[in-house]
Chains A and B, each alone.
Chain A
Amino acid sequence: MSAVVAPEPEPIEPRDNYLNAAYGVRSWLLTRDHKRIALLYLVSITFFFFLGGLFALLIRLELLTPAGDLVQAETYNKLFTMHGIVMIFFFLIPSIPAVLGNFFIPMMIGAKDLAFPRLNLLSWYIYIVGASFTMWAVVHGGVDTGWTFYTPYSSLYSNTHVVATAVGIFITGFSSILTGLNFLVTIHTMRAPGLTWFRLPLFVWSHYATSLIMVLGTPVIAVTVLLVGAERVLHLGIFDPSRGGDPILFQHLFWFYSHPAVYIMVLPAMGVVSEVVTTFSRKNIFGYKFVAFASIGIAVLGFLVWGHHMFVSGQSVYAGLVFSILSFLVAIPSAVKVFNWTATMYKGSISYRTPMLYAFGFIGLFTIGGLTGLFLATLGVNVHVHDTYFVIAHFHYIMVGGAIMGYLGGIHYWWPKISGKLYPEGWARFAALVVFIGFNLTFFPQFILGYLGMPRRYHAYPPEFQVLNVLSTAGASILGVGYILPMIYLAWSMRYGRNAPPNPWGSTGLEWQTPSPPPTENFKVPPIVTEDPYIYSHEEVEIVG
């Protein structure tokens, strides 16, 4: 049945886990197992991560010198556009939910699978089809509108492949919607007996909040890019000011999704951090309900702040005022989380394992990203630093310093469960350190550049900005090494790593109460939950690996 023939007879091992339950390409491409689908996503988003990273590398190389000498202005426009589109829609949005959420939500709630396994596989195919459209656009010359597709440039004037890219994003949006729908229904209907809402791991709570945003926000950007496409192809003219249309309305509709989308990226990372911090502090989370409701609070408030992207776009000053105040409010649930993680670590028995290093990184960098977000939410300051590198630095602290740190922390934390192997701890700690140093060296100088007035989206700049730009490019190279290292040693560990025990970290999570890697049906006996999620005793537990 399997199309792949093994070159030499392998030692016979029992086919008792999801990885060796079946072999061959078909058994992966037609699987309905949420764990295998998670790995399909892992491979695809890793590809897009490095593709987006390649665009970033070219951007940073161009900015090494003040003159625009490596690429032309038009090429540069395409580079930052495609960097944004690939990283946001094809890496960050699916990253933690589609890989770690897909893999672990059913296991954390004691279920055999998500509620709709076929829909789950369909989501991955939809993602691939959407990505293919966008890749077609990239290969045939790219798109230059910025990832924001602002009208009327995108709808009337750009001569690049806007329609193919927009179609790709429209299609991929459905992948996101269906994943969110699947998670919501699964969390509502598939919990094990005894697993009440306030016994759910915080990772599940944060994914519940994320799914709400996916389900409520994504349809709006879907219809918005559809209208832009209709304007280009059918000449409908809904956002065309020369025919009475309003381009600012496009910005409202766009940011109604795209601001909450930031929380699609960062909320799952917060879920990872909650799990990691409790496990490696050997303490119950401080203020469980506050952390859980902070996720919901961020999701709800996140829908009310989109106007802070439009302070200088021609929206009314009063709207700006209201959006400014509402944006400040998001700081409250975000700070609740940061304080509660810190309080969890207080007097905990902390072990400095790799996932914990990433969690430290997340907490520090997210705090900087969040506080500079408050600067930007302040109307007067925003006018000064709008569209400068200050904004670039701010959102990279959230999306790269926050979301990607959380993603890498989660990948390391659950790697023994996913692969059944232990990764080399020394290398992993080293890589975490490289990522942290490289990240700060890349993006901290950009805060200063932006404050001094260097605008975003130009391929040339005055010579006095060169020192800081050289620092930033140097940091980006270090960051690149930090991202390639885990790829190498994680792949290495799949073949040569030591076998992982079921629960190497001594965690209390339900997902660790199965063998590593887990069997296809997750649990041999359906579990019954009788306790809260983070019941850690103070006695020392030996951590393996």
Chain B
Amino acid sequence: MADVQPAEPALQHQFESMEQQKEASSLGMWVFLVTEILFFGGLFLTYTIYRWENARAFADASRHMDITLGTINTVVLIFSSLTMAMAVHSAETGRRRLLILFLIATMILGGVFLGIKAVEYTDHIQHHLFPGPGFRYPAGADAHGASLFFSLYFAMTGLHALHMIIGLGILTTLLLMARRGRFTAEYFTPVEVSGLYWHFVDIVWIFLFPLLYLIGRHLH
């Protein structure tokens, strides 16, 4: 297998030029994010319909959320998007040490988010708020509506957390590649498209936070 090495080491054989390769990679990630929108879209649609049918119960159930932890997590995630953007910028300007630093910072912030989420989950489960046979809700309140709310809460935040975990896996790969000096100011497409993914996951949370934590605040 005597492959002829192309002039650019990072250029894959199917492309004619680095510009074409970069265009394909970015478009690929954007199309993937469109599929992600549709994926979460099914959940947001379900949420919208059930909240419309059970407005009072959803607002009531939302008051079981820990708004402090939720707010902290929102800030943590927004901050992680900043460090991710800085990582992309460092790659673009060819500064490897800074790139590594910002990648690690993003990973730490992502880890903090997941840690806080785990604390919240534990708390909900201890208070019998996980839907199913163990679900307990105060007598007199609309347990059906609350069960739907918590079903959606666990499904949506759970899938979001899964996306965060996958994101941490991607960041780990980027970190290893960056340490081996695989990125240059000319070639940093993996950092760039991973950044798009990270921001997307962040934006999903920006929608989840008000829909799940803040809807009952104006009551009582």
> Using a CB–CB distance below 8 Å, which chain A residues touch chain B?
22, 111-117, 177, 181-182, 184-186, 188-190, 215-220, 222-224, 226-227, 230, 234-238, 243-246, 249, 253, 521, 526
Q: 22 A-B pairs, CB-CB below 8 angstroms? A: A112-B13, A114-B14, A115-B28, A117-B14, A181-B35, A184-B31, A185-B31, A186-B24, A189-B24, A215-B34, A216-B34, A216-B35, A216-B38, A219-B36, A226-B159, A227-B155, A234-B132, A235-B131, A236-B155, A244-B50, A244-B145, A245-B151
* Contact status A181-B32, CB under 8 Å: yes
Known: A219-B35, A224-B42, A249-B49. A237 touches B24 (CB 8 A): no
B126 to chain A, nearest CB (A): 17
Cα separation A540 to B20 with both chains bound (whole Å): 41
Per-residue contact bits, chain B 108-146, to A (CB 8 Å; 1 contact, 0 not): 000000000000000000000001110000000000110
Q: Are B148 and A237 in contact (CB under 8 A)?
A: yes
**Is A189 a contact of B20 with CB atoms below 8 Å?**
yes
- Select one of A115, A177, A238 contacting B155, CB under 8 A: A238
A220 lies within 8 A of B14 (CB): no
Let me know if A218 and B35 touch, CB within 8 A: yes
Complex formed: what's the CA distance from A246 to B152 in Å? 13
Q: State how many angstroms separate the Cβ of A482 from the closest Cβ of chain B.
A: 38
A238 touches B46 (CB 8 A): yes
- A112-B13, A189-B20 are known contacts. Are A215 and B35 too (CB-CB below 8 A)? yes
CB pair B31 A181 closer than 8 Å: yes
B125 nearest CB across to chain A (Å): 12
Q: B148–A238 contact, CB under 8 A?
A: yes
Contact of A238 among B38, B145, B152 (CB under 8 A): B152
* A113 CA to B12 CA, complexed, in Å: 11
The 8 Å CB contact of B144, one of A223, A244, A249, is: A244
Nearest-CB residue, chain A, relative to B20: A189
Q: Are A236 and B14 in contact (CB under 8 A)?
A: no
Contacts of B27 in A (CB 8 A): 184-185, 188-189
A contact residues around B1 at 8 Å (CB): 22
The answer to whether B147 touches A223 (Cβ under 8 A) is no
Interface of A, secondary structure class, is helix
Known: A111-B14, A220-B39. 13 other contacts (CB 8 A): A113-B13, A115-B15, A115-B28, A215-B35, A219-B41, A223-B159, A235-B133, A236-B132, A237-B148, A243-B131, A244-B147, A246-B53, A526-B16
A185 touches B24 (CB 8 A): yes
Residues A243 and B147 in contact, CB atoms below 8 Å apart: yes
Asked if B209 CB lies within 8 Å of chain A CBs, one says no
Interface centre among B1, B14, B16, B32 (most CB of A within 10 A): B14
A238 engages B28 (CB within 8 Å):
no
Residues facing A in B7-65 (CB within 8 A) are 12-16, 20, 23-24, 27-28, 31-32, 34-36, 38-43, 45-46, 49-50, 53-54
Once the chains are docked, how many angstroms separate the CA of A253 from the CA of B48?
13
B23-A189 in contact (CB<8A): yes
Given A219-B35, A220-B41, are A115 and B24 neighbors across the interface (CB < 8 Å)? yes
Q: B46 and A230: CB pair below 8 A?
A: no
In B138-188, which residues have CB < 8 Å from any A CB? Answer: 144-145, 147-148, 151-152, 154-155, 159
| Cβ-closest chain B residue relative to A235 | B132
Give the CA-CA distance A243 to B16 in the complex, in Å. 58
Interface of B is mostly: helix
A contact residues around B31 at 8 Å (CB): 181, 184-185, 215
Enumerate chain B residues within 8 angstroms of A235, measured Cβ to Cβ. Answer: 131-133
Which one of A112, A189, A521 has the greatest number of beta carbons of chain B within 10 Å? Answer: A189
Chain B residues positioned under 8 Å from A220 (CB to CB): 38-39, 41-42
Residues of A within 8 A of B34 (CB): 215-216
Distance, CA A182 to CA B24, complexed state (A): 9
Sorted nearest first, the 4 A-B pairs with minimum C-beta distance are A235-B132, A244-B144, A219-B39, A113-B14
Report the nearest B residue to A116, measured CB to CB: B28
- Closest residue of chain A to B151 (Cβ to Cβ) is A236
B14, B15, B39, B145: the one within 8 Å of A223 (CB): B39
Distance in angstroms between the alpha carbons of A227 and B32 in the assembled complex: 21
B20 to chain A, nearest CB (A): 6
Distance, CA A545 to CA B50, complexed state (A): 63
Residue of A nearest to B150 (CB): A236
Q: Bound complex: CA of A185 vs CA of B12, how far in Å? A: 15
Contact at A190–B28, with CB atoms within 8 Å? no
Closest residue of A by beta carbon distance from B38: A219
CA distance A222 to B159 in the complex (A): 12
Set A189, A223, A237: member contacting B132, Cβ < 8 A: A237
Inter-chain CA distance A216–B39, complex, in Å, is 9
Neighbouring A residues of B133 by C-beta, 8 Å: 235
* A246 and B49 form a contact (CB under 8 A): yes
Instruction: Kindly state the separation between the CA atoms of A253 and B154 in the bound complex, as whole angstroms.
Output: 19
Residues of A within 8 A of B154 (CB): 234, 236
For B43, the chain A residues whose CB sits under 8 A away are: 223
Given contacts A184-B31, A216-B34, A244-B145, contact A230 B155 (CB under 8 A): yes
Which residue on B lies nearest to A221, using beta carbons? B42
Decide: A177 and B144 in contact? CB cutoff 8 A: no
A237–B49 CB distance below 8 A: no
B35 engages A177 (CB within 8 Å): yes
Q: For residue A189, which residue of chain B has the nearest CB?
A: B24
Inter-subunit contact A219/B42 (CB<8 Å): yes
Report chain A residues within 8 Å CB of B16. Answer: 526
With known contacts A181-B31, A235-B131, A237-B131, A112–B38 Cβ distance under 8 A: no
Q: A219 — which chain B residues lie within 8 A by C-beta?
A: 35-36, 38-39, 41-42
Chain B contacts for A22, CB-based, 8 A: 1
Give the chain A neighbours of B148 by CB distance below 8 A.
237-238, 243-245
Instruction: Judge whether B35 and A185 touch: CB under 8 Å.
Output: no
B40 nearest CB neighbor, chain A only: A223
Alpha-carbon separation in the docked complex, A226 to B159 (Å): 10
Q: Which residue of B lies closest to A192 (CB)?
A: B16
Chain A residues within 8 Å of B39, by CB: 219-220, 222-223
Q: In chain A, what residue has the closest Cβ to B30?
A: A185
Whether the Cβ atoms of B147 and A237 lie closer than 8 Å is yes
Give chain B residues whose Cβ lies under 8 Å from the Cβ of A521. 13
For the complex formed, measure the closest distance between the CB of A204 and the CB atoms of chain B, giving whole angstroms: 16
